[in-house]
Chains A and B, each alone.
Chain A
Amino acid sequence: MELEKALYHYFQFTSFRQGQKEVVESILRGQNTLAMLPTGTGKSLCYQLPGYLLEGKVLIVSPLLSLMQDQVEQMKSMGEKRVIAINSFLSPAEKRKALSNLSSYKFIFVSPEMLGVDIILNKLREMTIALFVVDEAHCISQWGYDFRPDYLKIGEVREKLGAPLTIALTATATKEVREDIVKYLQFRSWEEFVFSVDRPEISIGIEILGHKEKQQKTLELVQKIKGPGIIYFSSKKLAESMAAKLRDQGERVMAYHGGLDTESRTLIQQQFIHNQLDIVCATSAFGMGINKDNVRFILHYHMPLQLEAYLQEIGRAGRDGKESIAILFYSPGDEQLSLQLTEGELPEKEQIHHLFMLIQQQNLKLENIHLESERFIPACGFSETQWRVVESFLASMQNENVQEVRDQLLNYVTKRIRLKQQKVYRVLDYIQHSGCKREYILDYFDDQGSSAKKNCCSSCGLALEDFYGSKAEEMEPNLRYNWKKDLASMLIKQVGDLHEKRPIS
């Protein structure tokens, strides 16, 4: 069967994007596959298409609940009903129901901690796993920017499942990280596809400026540059206040961060996708799993914490292949904030000591700690990120000795902080690098395929004016809101109304 035919049949696409075909073919040849595909190139198709063509289940391990939920929603919205996510979002009753019907699903998403649950693992062992997918596979490496100790177990789980055909996917992995992935997944033979992380359609600008100028510069830039765009901040507060200022300037903009309720978050994401918003002032919480083709600019108001995250974030621009720009503002001393944030992501010594004191006092078993998160998070004052680190670390441990585990965790945290700080300095080095920015990034990922072009980066020469756009066309007449009309336009099908643009007021 011709692959293109299948592609059209299942996805209504007429051609593959870069890299997809090679990866799919490798899997269909029965080869374990490690694929590094840049963000926005349709990673998920690499397992979904072979999934359809192979007999049996597709089991997808994914690290982030929100990401998992997004993917499930997306597949469902494409009409795939046989898809389910097993994670801690499910209530016990839902979990039971899902497990008893598990065989009726084709695509099963599961979080790493759920793989540690015996009932689930046993259920999975009864089934034929045609394809085992490790998404965000860089999480398996401690060199990766988002190491999750519980990912280490995946190799073992894979063995228990009879070492099924496996694909490991990642968007950003240095050579070291890729070696770790192969090692921990215990591949004996495999094919590796590393596609260039270069996105020639994205121009890269770095601007070094004084602290006081940043805000003014942002306001000016946004006025001139063509949207839609995302502005990344390291703080919720700044994201909010900048959004307010831009709104005063007449922009259609909202702030997006983890402090918002779920409803607002979904609405803002969807408004952005549906072009009801031109700009989102976001923290790094925004963008994961967002499918929007026409993002024209990414602005970093603060420096990102690692080049890996930077690459992911700027990769959200230009998915339609059209010219886009990523700009990073840096003021001398910004790295101090980054270093602080890095530490804040990891649990503090005092918190760890307190947690283990509680564990000992109450004589709890380490393997049950994750069931008590609601109690421990407030008791030790963990943030969600901090708790995730603790949880993931404990899940990776088999040691029963509480004292030893505590010391190992303390040790681990110290090491992580050091590694993360190195990454911050690497970003700083990148910012200050006087040569080509693109080459620097490619170098970092041991990637050769650089493509010199016009407007490459601020070192090679960049004409910002090329990215300016006119706003006049976007302005819509400010009609008075009429609720009855609005309701009617939602619920009553008007003939010929399909393509008529309705003012959203």
Chain B
Amino acid sequence: MLEIKNLHADVNGREILKGLNLQVNAGEIHAIMGPNGAGKSTLASVLAGNPAFEVTEGEITFLGKDFMELAPEERAAEGFFLSFQYPVEIPGVSMVNFLRTAMNEQRKYRGQEPIPASDFLRLMKEKKELVEMQSNLTNRSVNEGFSGGEKKRSEIFQMAMLEPRLAVLDETDSGLDIDALRIVANGVNKLASPERAIIVITHYQRLLDYIVPDFVHVLFDGRIVKSGNKDLALRLESEGYDWIKKELE
């Protein structure tokens, strides 16, 4: 589904990703871990097509398409979703309006008719229940005045609504108390399916108790330096990253 080969990317002229390789197949859950500043969010931004980041080398193929050729909104319509580490606020724009615009733009790209209002509202209700989203949050402006936890839940709700093929969750667990964490993880698990792949970026093993990954990767200094199964996450939790640094020397 997603194939990243030898990816190099700069921000403000500084190289952050330095030859990253990753393959993700449909139905898989991958976890990416790594110390602060390793380039995890940069990878997410580059996948999403954020113009602040420049890809200097390498390839990204998504569902057979060259991702580098596509604008961010086209990548979204092709089925790519990013749950942001820091979701922005858009004052005055209700979540309902925002999501309906997003959904209809994606449908337009795919040559589909706009979704009828009644179907949309039914879908909202269904997905809100799925991710246990409080109903008042969708009537408010996008992320405006939301607490950290509410923002993260709103991201997962948007993911549920847009039904992407591949979702990258960038530190969706940070700032959540244990109840919120459980709710978010449940939501994600319900959205997991054989056609869908999920990449979870996290610092903490505790999320992986709820969302069990098929693969765990360590991103270090712009590269994936080690891959394994969920036991790798447990070892990182107990021993930190020093042993990896040593292995690399």
Q: Do A and B come from one complex?
A: no
On A, residues with C-beta under 8 Å from B are none
